[in-house]
Structure 1
Amino acid sequence: MSIALFTLGGTISMAGGPSAGVVPRLTGADLMAAVPGLAELDRPLEVQDVQAVPSANLTLATMLEVVDAAAQAIADGATGIVVTQGTDTLEETAFLVDQVWPHPNPFVLTGAMRNPTLAGPDGPANLLAAAQVACSPAARDLGALVVFNDQIHAARWVRKTHSTSTAAFASPNAGPIGQVVEGQVRILTRPARLDGVPARAEPAELEATKVALYTVTLDDDGLLLRGLADTHQGLIVAGYGVGHVPAALAPVLGELAARMPVVLTSRTGAGSIARNTYGSIGSESDLLKRGLIDGGFLDPYKARILLRWLLATGESLDEITAAFAQHH
């Protein structure tokens, strides 16, 4: 029995480059060599170096390749999966994995906020904790997990909430579901796994599926919404507060919702949109009556991942609405 480690680059793998700044250079073997205590695990890590890039360069297609390779590793006897990558898109890639990972084995994503050239790099500690979670029976049947700063987060809730802090990852709506304490994995709560999206989208289908994200701002004129239905197949609206937009945008969004799925979310970073609290034009109840889909507790970034996947797999409007209803 082993743990399969897939490396994708990011801050955890960075070292000095030929010019100013650090770049991804360290292999999985390099990362393992820098982790005290990893040898004491009762399962070895088997490394597959997939890419060495900043996470801004990752794609959904790349992550699906990793999921396929991870599934093969499980079939070959691996106990769990660890993926190291950059933190900028980690909350999104983790959510994608959570939608498509069918196995009870833990799928753990981690990284680092401080690169190895700095004092106190957090990558080794995060990698050790992630490996401990990946081989723990307590972490089974929880889907994709993000392990950072000795905290265990469910992929559906986790957010990157700070640009530089080693405590950047948090779950504002629920808190971490567990902790790693003295090397022991302690799961504090077990959220029920959601249905996910069983259908598979091929890379060509994902490439052809365009979903826009529109963040509403003060005195918004909505000009960027013009012609959107001619270039995209779906839209995520990050509205004010509990799901509000300026009154002038309400009919525009209603017209778009008649042509493609439009999902209403909140730009605040935590909490759900409302449904029946406010009744003015541009309020959440007005927008839902105009055909927008209730995004519930999903933040705009995860909502975009889910909608793009659902569209790429050919789900109907009713099926899309039902998928988002799991997050209410």
Structure 2
Amino acid sequence: MSSADRDPHRSVLVLALGGTIAMTPTASASGVAPTLTGADLVAAVPGLQGTAVTAEDFRKLPGASLTTSDIVDLVGRLEQADREGVDGIVVTQGTDTLEETAFLADIYYRGSAPVVFTGAMRSAASAGADGPANLLAAVQTATCASAREQGVLVVLGDEVHAARHVRKMHTTSPAAFGSPATGPLGRLVEGTARLQRALKRTGAVPLPLGAPGAPSEVEVVTASLGSSGILLEGLEDKVSGLVVAAFGAGHVPQTWVLRLEALAAAMPVVLASRIGTGPVLTSTYAFPGSESDLLARGLVAAGTLDPYKARLLLVAHLAAGTPRSEIAKVFLNYS
């Protein structure tokens, strides 16, 4: 992509949700908390002078305190901005949940204006704060024509990632984000997002039925060595769906099998891998608790989605009223 692909005069809306990028020391000086506004974040980036950027404060929360309802509301604002003719949208938030919120937004968002999520690993008061550079790169990506119709993107460290592939892979490193299964979609070079490949968008899921943002209760249960599966007991009365973070390519202890079969008769149960990279298999192993055994008992394969993203896809479809018979087909889009 040439520099002509990016137009600095395109309009960009920055929606601030809080997070480390907006954090400064608290009065007690014992830590940091979200205090900066979206306008503060934009003002701290010298490279944005002369760019048509408008900032709005949408939330002011740590990433860990955001909810699915917050993201449903956010998507409503994204689509409103797209209808109003904004050329690109940037969302700033905490990195704790950024890979999940970006993916949930990608599930719902139907607009064509580029949407780019970004954040920071170091607070605004830290030496070498990475927030301003990440925000600049996100705005530059949002002003690139090549970013249109690519779904929701994530930009940190001058790398452009697809929301469906990106993962936070380190607790503190400024280079915490990557797409281990695919690599980044592209990189920022001299202020322009150079995308190496186009990304086919999946069909958007309708926003939730009933009260706006009404969540469906879906939980993740993780397999671990010697686990009896006690956490599976009674879930049919507590949740409307379940994701199993299984060993390896989709395996669980034999002691889990009958419980999971009973749960799969009562609700959608999705089989994902706790590894987080690579697909769940469907027909390689045949022992009790193997992937083929579990799928034969009614579980649904998550494809390449990790357990946390599989959960959000299931949450979205349950909230939208997708018939159970169609839910297995939904995950085929991520195989």
Query: Which of 26, 35, 47 is equivalent to 2:45?
Result: 35
CA distance in 1, matches of 2:217, 2:124: 37
Structure 1 position 52 matched with structure 2 position 56: no
Q: Displacement of 1:206 after TM fit?
A: 5.2
Query: Which of 231, 238, 241 is equivalent to 1:231?
Result: 238
The one-letter code of the counterpart of 2:35 is R
The one-letter code of the counterpart of 1:39 is Q
Structure 1 position 17 matched with structure 2 position 52: no
CA distance in 1, matches of 2:16, 2:213: 23
CA distance in 1, matches of 2:174, 2:258: 43
Structure 1 position 290 matched with structure 2 position 297: yes
CA distance in 2, matches of 1:58, 1:24: 13
Q: Displacement of 1:308 after TM fit?
A: 0.9
CA distance in 2, matches of 1:75, 1:317: 32
Q: Displacement of 1:196 after TM fit?
A: 2.9
From the superposition, tell whether residues 203 and 12 of structure 1 become closer, same or farther in structure 2 (CA, over 3 Å): farther
Instruction: Answer with 177-186 or 202-211: which moved more.
Output: 202-211
Q: Displacement of 1:205 after TM fit?
A: 7.2
Judge conservation of contact 1:170–1:176 (CA < 8 Å) in 2: yes
Query: Which of 103, 108, 133 is equivalent to 2:111?
Result: 103
Residue in 1 that maps onto 2:139: 131
Judge conservation of contact 1:257–1:291 (CA < 8 Å) in 2: yes
Q: Displacement of 1:204 after TM fit?
A: 3.6
Q: Secondary structure at the match of 2:165?
A: coil
Gaps of at least 5 residues in structure 1 are none
Aligned CA-pair RMSD: 1.2
The one-letter code of the counterpart of 1:270 is T
The sequence identity of aligned pairs, in percent, is 50
Q: Secondary structure at the match of 2:87?
A: strand
Structure 1 position 264 matched with structure 2 position 276: no
Q: Displacement of 1:77 after TM fit?
A: 2.0
Query: Which of 156, 174, 182 is equivalent to 2:164?
Result: 156
1:74-101 residue CA offsets vs partner (Å, 9 max, x unmatched): 2222101100000001111101110111
The structure 1 segments of at least 4 consecutive aligned residues displaced by more than 6 Å after TM superposition are none
From the superposition, tell whether residues 239 and 140 of structure 1 become closer, same or farther in structure 2 (CA, over 3 Å): same
Judge conservation of contact 1:159–1:169 (CA < 8 Å) in 2: yes
TM-score normalised by length of structure 1: 0.96
Structure 1 position 312 matched with structure 2 position 319: yes
CA distance in 2, matches of 1:299, 1:188: 24
CA distance in 1, matches of 2:255, 2:137: 50
Residue in 2 that maps onto 1:140: 148
Gaps of at least 5 residues in structure 2 are 1-9
Residue in 2 that maps onto 1:273: 280
From the superposition, tell whether residues 205 and 243 of structure 1 become closer, same or farther in structure 2 (CA, over 3 Å): farther
CA distance in 1, matches of 2:13, 2:154: 16
Q: Displacement of 1:182 after TM fit?
A: 1.1
From the superposition, tell whether residues 45 and 155 of structure 1 become closer, same or farther in structure 2 (CA, over 3 Å): same
CA distance in 1, matches of 2:34, 2:212: 30
Judge conservation of contact 1:11–1:113 (CA < 8 Å) in 2: yes
Q: Secondary structure at the match of 1:252?
A: helix
Query: Which of 12, 16, 39 is equivalent to 1:3?
Result: 12
The one-letter code of the counterpart of 1:10 is G
CA distance in 2, matches of 1:3, 1:94: 18
Structure 1 position 192 matched with structure 2 position 228: no
Superposition map of 1:182-261 within 5 A:
182-197=190-205, 199-202=206-209, 204=211, 207=214, 209-261=216-268
TM-score normalised by length of structure 2: 0.94
From the superposition, tell whether residues 206 and 229 of structure 1 become closer, same or farther in structure 2 (CA, over 3 Å): farther
Q: Displacement of 1:207 after TM fit?
A: 3.8
Q: Displacement of 1:105 after TM fit?
A: 1.2
From the superposition, tell whether residues 59 and 79 of structure 1 become closer, same or farther in structure 2 (CA, over 3 Å): same
Judge conservation of contact 1:4–1:70 (CA < 8 Å) in 2: no
CA distance in 1, matches of 2:27, 2:59: 19
Residue in 1 that maps onto 2:5: none
Judge conservation of contact 1:10–1:54 (CA < 8 Å) in 2: yes
Q: Secondary structure at the match of 1:51?
A: strand
The one-letter code of the counterpart of 2:304 is F
The one-letter code of the counterpart of 1:3 is V
Judge conservation of contact 1:206–1:308 (CA < 8 Å) in 2: no
